[in-house]
Structures are given as structure tokens and as C-alpha cells.
Amino acid sequence: MAYDSATVEYFCFAKARVQFLSGEDTPRAFLERGISSIEKREREVRAFVSLDLEAARVAADAATERWRAGRPLSLVDGLPFAVKDCYDVAGFPTRVNSALFDDAPPARADAAHVDALRRGGALFVGKTVTTELTMAAPGPTWNPWDLSRTPGGSSSGSAAAVAAHMVPLATGSQVRGSGLRPASICGIPALKPTFGALSRVGGFDPSPSLNHLVLLAGTLADIWDSANQIARVVGGDPGEAPWAPDDTLPAPRRPLRLARQYTVGWDKTDADSKAVFEGFLAKLAATGVEIVEPKDGPLFARYEDLTSRVLEFFFDLLLWEIRSPLIALAAAQPEAFSETMHRHIANAAKLTLADYVRALARRDELRAAHAALEGEVDGFITLAHIGPGQLGQPPLGTPWYNDASSAVGAPTINLPVLAVEGLPLGVQLMGFPGADAALMGQARWVLERFAPGTVGILSDNLV
């Protein structure tokens, strides 16, 4: 079946809540619909490394009783969710698709965000496939829209599980494009919040200064409710300003001015994808949204120049922060690493402290250029990937459009509004650090016009 943003519709827990109260639906029945999809599609999609379905059923029955009594724990009580296998879940090993952790014992405690969701009554369904150490060799997952294509990475299984109607929500992570890229390729919304706004404590963290918790879901409504639940219970990363909870998804707000970004990705994008994106920008302009080009002013030109050069420093940041343990482990267990990881480790070994300091200065320069545009534009728009998921190599997609938003640490959303060759292609919308709610309002406005089934029907003030 070809992807069509105008008609696509995934599971929406926010919509189901209304029926829980009326007795037309229950959390157990909602869960069973996802389990049915797992039973039908998991063998071919291969989104999960482990499942905990019987425990999820028991938890769903308890949630069902709470809704029947009109006393749910939270807006996510009964929400089935999956967790990327770089985060800890009590009772399950965290293996990160690496031979280093083949014999890892089960985690003794949940990662912070898992704990927060479960405290609100959400139902843990299973752990999803990621790439080797979230950065190298791919896992076995396939794209639900075309089983011959990549689902993207490294949040491969999380994106695929949502797109295959297995769960309404899955968690992921992003250092480069590990959350937004698979969301684009699999055709679902995903939010990378402001850096540090939602806690990523608990599990394997490949880059302390760049990594983000990512929420991938079928609808904006479920992303919003889940982010609020996490923020209320565990907040953000230590030392970082946390997400400000609000039960009501921001009202749709048309952005007045959006700065277009090309990055290094545009020259690597296929002609059909370029044409589809240009057509989308023209549709936005027809509604009154001004698309600002880099040539339209020195601040925009400078920012575009800096974003197109992120690769000059990004890997120095990433590799320096993990170099010491990886160099030691590669010497002790060389057979535990893929060829790709050995290349990364060799490059990390060449770095000096001066290289890292220079990279930090380059990142700060980019962030200052981004901040200088606040008040000039409402946000930034570009593609989320160079095209639909590739056949064959590269097996994970490419991060060229995503690097800058990760380096800046600004909130960014994948909007699944385009199709090329009958396959999904996302648009990346980025805001300003700390302005996550404003970005969600803009995203809602866009999706209500171009992919209405991915907004979700809200049931505010139920609890």
C-alpha cells in the first residue's frame, strides 16, 4: 500500500481515552489490537529484541479497572509503549545491539523516562532494535512500508513498531539523526525536544553533550501527553531546564516566517524528493507562510554556512566523549566490534584535547548564530532525510539534514507530510531552545492541513 499523508492514520491513545470512559473501549482491548499487529507483522518487520506481552496484559487489566472506576492514574494510564534498547528496563538486559553486552545481566531499575511512564500507568510492551552502540552496524529491522528498504537508524525498531501499528508510542534517542531520520523514513511524527528537557538517565549514552531522548508516535497528541508525564515525574537531564508540563496540546499556530535550510543534504537529495519538497514549500507560501532563503540577509547566510559545515566538528565532539572506554575495550575485545566501529575508534584515538576544545568553540558559534535569528523567524524548515528509505546501502539512511539541529540542541519535529515513490518522506521543523510548546503549535497547524490523521483527537481534562 502506498503512503499517503492525507489518509494515513496510526493508533491514537488520546482518542481512545474518550471511549474508555464511556465503556466503548478498554485499555486491554486497545493493547490487544497492537498485539495482533505484532503477531501479524513482527516476523517480517523485526522491530523488537524482546517482548513482555503477558505482563503488559496484566497491567492493561489493572488500567481497565481504573478507567471503569473513573480514576485513571494519568492521561497515559493504559498507553502501550516500547523502549529503544539503549535504555534500561528492569528485568531486561540492555545490549545496544553489541557483542560487548551479549552477557549483560538484566537491568535492576528502569531508565528515568520508563519509570515515569509506568508510574502513570503506561504499559511496557518490549524493547526495540537499535544499531550497534546506536552508531554503527544495523540491526535486522525492515521498513513497514516496504520490506526491502531500511527503516533508518538508530531508533530503527521504535520507528518501525509505531509505523506497523504495533504500539502508539516508542522511545528513541538522537545524537545525529537517530530519531528524526527513521521517523521520516517510516512516516510517523517524532519529537526531539530541547536538549536536556526530558531525562535520558538510565542506560547506554554515547554522547553526553549531544544525545537527546526522542519520542516517536502515531500522533502529536500522544507525544505531548507522554512528554508531560515524563517531565512531571522525572524532569530533564541533571542541570538542564526541564520540559514545562501542560495537559493541553498547544493550539495550532501558523508560522509567519520560516527559514529554509539546505545543509549538506540538498546536494545529496534525489530529484524527485527535491521537487516534492519544493512543491510543499509553495503550498505553505500560498497560505501566507513566508519562506526565508539564506540569501535574504547576512544573518541567514551566515547561519546556512555554519549549518553546512557541521561535519567539520561534529564527529570530534561525539568521538572524544566516548574515546577512552572504547579504545580500552577495542584493545581487550577487538572481536566485539564491527568494522565500522573499529574505524570510529581509530579516528577517536587520533583526537587531542585541543581538537575537542576547537569543536566546542565551533558548536558554540553555531548556537550563537541560531539564537541570533530568534525574533527574525518562527522556525526553520528543511527535509528530514535525503529521500525515502534506501534500498541496500547505506543501510541506516543519512543524517545530513539532522546534524545541525542536534548540535544546536533545539527542539525539532519530523512531520510525515510527503511521499516519494509511494513511500514516506518527512519535513523537519526546528524551533528555538526552550520553545518546545511553540514548535508543537506550529507542527499541529501544518499536520492538520497535510496529515490530519497524525494530530490525534484530544480528550483534555479527563483526569
| Angstrom distance (rounded) from CA 116 to CA 124 | 11
pLDDT at 459: 47
Q: What is the mean pLDDT of residues 135-159?
A: 96
Which residues are catalytically annotated? 84, 154, 178
pLDDT at 6: 96
pLDDT band at 396; cut points 50, 70, 90: confident
pLDDT band at 458; cut points 50, 70, 90: low
For the chain, how long is the longest CA-to-CA vector? Answer: 63
pLDDT at 65: 98
Cβ contact 443:429 at 8 Å: yes
Which amino acid is residue 365, in one-letter code?
Answer: E
Which stretches of 146-270 are DSSP H helices? 156-163, 180-186, 220-234
The cell numbers describing 321, all together, are 566523549
Q: What's the sign of the alpha-carbon dihedral 70, 73, 76, 80?
A: negative
The cell numbers describing 407, all together, are 548540535
pLDDT at 463: 40
Helix (H) or strand (E) holding 290, with range, is strand 290-292
- Per-residue model confidence as pLDDT tens digits over 50-106: 999 999 999 999 999 999 999 999 999 999 999 999 999 999 999 999 999 999 999
- CATH top-level class for 13-251+446-454? alpha beta
- Per-residue model confidence as pLDDT tens digits over 153-184: 999 999 999 999 999 999 999 999 999 999 99
SS3 for 81?
strand
DSSP string for 190-225: EEE-STTSS---SB--S-TTT-EEEEEES-HHHHHH
Interhelix angle 220-234/436-450, nearest 10 degrees: 160
Cβ neighbour number for residue 391 with a 10 Å cutoff: 11
How big is the chain, counted in residues?
463
Q: What's the sign of the alpha-carbon dihedral 226, 228, 231, 234?
A: negative
Cβ contact 154:130 at 8 Å: yes
* pLDDT at 460 > cutoff 70: no
pLDDT band at 395; cut points 50, 70, 90: confident
How do the domains of the chain map onto residue ranges?
A: 13-251+446-454
* pLDDT at 461 > cutoff 50: no
Q: Give me the half-sphere count of Cα atoms (radius 13 Å) on the Cβ side of residue 291.
A: 17
* pLDDT at 196 > cutoff 60: yes
Closest CA to 161 of 217, 118, 106: 217
